[in-house]
Amino acid sequence: MAGKPKLHYTKGRGKMESIRWLLAAAGVEFEEEFIETKEDLEKLRNDGVLMFQQVPMVEIDGMKMVQTRAILSYIAAKYNLYGKDLKERAWIDMYVEGTTDLMGMIMYLPFQPADTKEKNLALIIERATTRYFPVYEKALKDHGQDYLVGNKLSWADIHLLEAILMTEECKPDVLSAFPLLQAFKGRISNIPTIKKFLQPGSQRKPPTDEKFVAIVRKIFNI
């Protein structure tokens, strides 16, 4: 009997947040076990449950899966969020890699030295508005459909919504030049499972603040 997936990570967003989004969007209930101290991480390592001594780790379908992209690909495929064939999969992969790069920049921002923050934030906004968002705006414009790939909700849509919301936390009006992305945001946010995830009380995690950065540094020794 499979049971609910169980997520092992800190209480923060980090590399686990995209996994939470995808499970939530697929309507899959999941449990979480939080790493709060260095000792919690050591215990997982000593138990031999982390193949490469790292988290995220997700217990799912009898596996102890590690590596964020491996976990995301598995969930996407299992819950029919990965397109209908190889070509749709190719487009979903390309789009997701783009949003991964953008979110990766934002994820590291709180961990960077205070005197580089302003410059890094400016770079994030520049990349978002000149490299990434134009691509998704154009994709939606070219086919005129509601979803990025194959006229059906996929991992690419969920990941893009996550990226949009994270970028808006950096700069609230960052979508001002992207009308189709604004409509996309409204539309995808209203999908029942996603709407639920966006409400207070869900397992969505808040942005990382300075206090949490200190905790993370202690746990991972960074």
Partner 1 sequence: MSGKPKLHYCNARGRMETIRWLLAAAGVEFEESFLETKDDLTKLQKDGSLLFQQVPMVEIDGMKMVQSRAIANYIATKYNLYGKDLKERALIDMYVEAIIDLNELLMTHTFQPADKKEQHLATIVDKATNRYFPAFEKVLKDHGQDFLVGNKFSRADVQLLETLLMAEECKSDILAKFPLLQSFKARISNMPTMKKFLSPGSQRKPPLQEKDIPKLMKIFY
Read off the tokens for 33.
């076990």
- Asked if 93 interacts with partner 1 (CB under 8 A), we say yes
The CB-side HSE value for 215 (13 A sphere, CA atoms) comes to 16
Task: Choose which of 1, 2, 86, 114 interacts with partner 1 (CB under 8 A).
Answer: 86
Cβ-Cβ contacts under 8 Å for 141 (sequence gap 6 or more)? 180
Task: Choose which of 67, 129, 182, 203 interacts with partner 1 (CB under 8 A).
Answer: 67
Smallest distance, partner 1 to C-beta of residue 74, A = 5
Q: How far apart are CA 110 and CA 90, in angstroms?
A: 32
Smallest distance, partner 1 to C-beta of residue 206, A = 27
Of 159 and 212, the one with the shorter C-beta distance to partner 1 is: 159
In this structure, are residues 183 and 174 in contact, taking their beta carbons and an 8 Å threshold?
A: no
In this structure, are residues 174 and 122 in contact, taking their beta carbons and an 8 Å threshold?
A: no
Phi/psi at 154 (nearest 5 deg)? Answer: -140, 175
- Asked if 53 interacts with partner 1 (CB under 8 A), we say yes
Q: Which part of the chain contacts partner 1 (CB under 8 A), choosing from 36-44, 67-75, 154-162, 197-205?
A: 67-75
In this structure, are residues 33 and 64 in contact, taking their beta carbons and an 8 Å threshold?
A: no
- The label of the residue with tokens 């508005």 reads 129
**Three-class DSSP category at 32:** strand
The alpha-carbon radius of gyration of the chain (Å, integer) is 18
Smallest distance, partner 1 to C-beta of residue 72, A = 9
Q: How far apart are CA 86 and CA 39, in angstroms?
A: 43
By CB under 8 A, the residues from 18 to 37 that bind partner 1 are none
- Asked if 97 interacts with partner 1 (CB under 8 A), we say yes
In this structure, are residues 5 and 58 in contact, taking their beta carbons and an 8 Å threshold?
A: yes
Task: Choose which of 4, 38, 43, 87 interacts with partner 1 (CB under 8 A).
Answer: 87
CB atoms within 10 A of CB 190: 10
- Asked if 119 interacts with partner 1 (CB under 8 A), we say no
- Asked if 126 interacts with partner 1 (CB under 8 A), we say no
- Asked if 178 interacts with partner 1 (CB under 8 A), we say no
- Asked if 132 interacts with partner 1 (CB under 8 A), we say yes
- Asked if 137 interacts with partner 1 (CB under 8 A), we say no
Q: Which part of the chain contacts partner 1 (CB under 8 A), choosing from 28-36, 57-65, 150-158, 168-176?
A: 57-65
Name the residues that contact partner 1, by CB under 8 A: 51-53, 61, 63, 65-70, 73-74, 77-78, 86-87, 89-90, 93-94, 96-98, 101, 131-132, 135
